Amino acid sequence: GVMERLGLGPEVLLRENPRLIYARLTGFGQTGKYAKSAGHDINYLALSGVLSKLGRKNENPYPPVNLLADFGGGGVMCALGIVIALFERAKSGKGQIIDASMVEGVAYLSSFLWKSQNVGLWSRPRGENLLDSGAPFYETYRTSDGKFMAVGAIEPKFYNQLIKGLGLNLDELPAQMSFSDWPEMKKKFASIFAQKTQAEWCSIFDSTDACVTPVLSFEDAASHQHNKERSSFIKNDPGEISPRPAPVLSRTPAVPSCKRDPFVGEHTEEILLEYGFTKQEIAKLHSDKTIEIKDLKASL
pLDDT at 282: 95
70 labelled catalytic: yes
pLDDT at 300: 43
What's the pLDDT band for 239 if we cut at 50, 70, 90?
A: very high
Which positions ≥6 away from 62 have C-beta within 8 Å?
Answer: 54, 55
What's the number of CA atoms in the CB half-sphere (13 Å) around residue 94? Answer: 4
Domain 2-119 matching CATH 3.40.640.10: the answer reads no
Angle at 253 between CA 247 and CA 254, to 5 degrees: 85
CATH code reported for the domain at 150-213: 3.30.1540.10
* pLDDT tens digits, 169-181: 999 999 999 999 9
Classify 30 as helix, strand or coil.
Answer: coil
- Are 137 and 154 spatial neighbours (Cβ–Cβ below 8 Å)? yes
pLDDT at 296: 61
* pLDDT tens digits, 78-91: 999 999 999 999 99
Q: How far apart are CA 193 and CA 285, in angstroms?
A: 61
Q: Which of 41, 70, 132, 288 is catalytic?
A: 70
pLDDT at 299: 45
Where exactly are the structural domains of the chain?
2-119, 150-213, 216-257, 261-295
- Are 240 and 260 spatial neighbours (Cβ–Cβ below 8 Å)? yes
Q: Which of 40, 145, 226, 295 is catalytic?
A: 40
Mean pLDDT, rounded, for 198-215: 98
pLDDT at 297: 61
* pLDDT tens digits, 6-60: 999 999 999 999 999 999 999 999 999 999 999 999 999 999 999 999 999 999 9
Q: Long-range contacts made by residues 108-114, C-beta under 8 angstroms, separation at least 24?
A: 108/73, 108/77, 109/50, 109/68, 109/72, 109/73, 109/77, 110/48, 110/49, 110/50, 110/53, 113/50, 113/53
Closest among 266, 273, 262 to 293, alpha carbons compared: 266
Q: How far apart are CA 158 and CA 168, in angstroms?
A: 14
The CB density around residue 198, as the number of other CB atoms within 10 Å, is: 20
What's the pLDDT band for 121 if we cut at 50, 70, 90?
A: confident
C-alpha pair distances (Å), 170 with each of 140, 160, 173, 212, 259: 20, 7, 5, 17, 54
Q: How far apart are CA 216 and CA 35, in angstroms?
A: 39
pLDDT at 122: 84
DSSP secondary structure letter of residue 290: S
What's the pLDDT band for 120 if we cut at 50, 70, 90?
A: confident
Q: How far apart are CA 12 and CA 257, in angstroms?
A: 35
Q: How far apart are CA 77 and CA 65, in angstroms?
A: 18
Q: Is the entire prediction scored with pTM above 0.85?
A: yes
Q: What distance lies between CA 199 and its chain's CA centroid?
A: 27
Q: Is the dihedral of CA 31, 37, 38, 44 positive or negative?
A: negative
φ, ψ of residue 212 to 5 degrees: the values are -120, 120
